[in-house]
Amino acid sequence: MKISISTLLTFIAAASLLPVWLHAEEVQKSSPPELASYYFVLLTRGPEWTAEKTPATEKIQAAHLANITKLHDAGKLVLAGPFTDDGNWRGIFILKTSSIEETKSLVENDPAVQAERLTYEIHPWATKKGMLP
């Protein structure tokens, strides 16, 4: 049986690429899911925080809750809620915004942040697309 050099070289080239093709299929199967980007905001006690309920603190809290509703209705706030253990961490926001600057602006306009009852940290955060709105 006579095999031409070009046929032999073609076979060797194809055989040498087989591990690459197999590995590519393996990588594709194990690739992480596509991620959606959000900003995680940790709200903590600010310098003016107090557990005491006064007309002034209740007014700030009502404005804070109204702001949460406004952010949600605008499609910016995906999730919000308080921590219930009465620790330094007071609550969280998960915001869907175009930038950290936009997130910072939205958080700094919150009445409880403006009154310094709350301070905040912003962290870029991601989860599998489709897990949250």
The widest CA-to-CA distance across the chain, in whole angstroms, is: 99
d(CA 10, CA 14): 6
The pLDDT mean for the chain works out to: 85
d(CA 19, CA 129): 31
Which pLDDT value is given to residue 8?
Answer: 44
Q: Is the pTM of this model over 0.95?
A: no
d(CA 86, CA 82): 9
User: Taking residues 44-67, what's their average pLDDT?
Assistant: 97
Q: Which CATH number fits domain 35-128: 3.30.70.1060, 3.30.420.40, 3.10.20.310, 1.25.10.10?
A: 3.30.70.1060
Burial of 133 (0-12, 13-18, 19+ CB in 10 A): exposed
pLDDT digits (tens, 9 = 90+) for 70-128: 999 999 999 999 999 989 999 999 999 999 999 999 999 999 999 999 999 999 999 99
d(CA 133, CA 75): 9
Which pLDDT value is given to residue 133?
Answer: 76
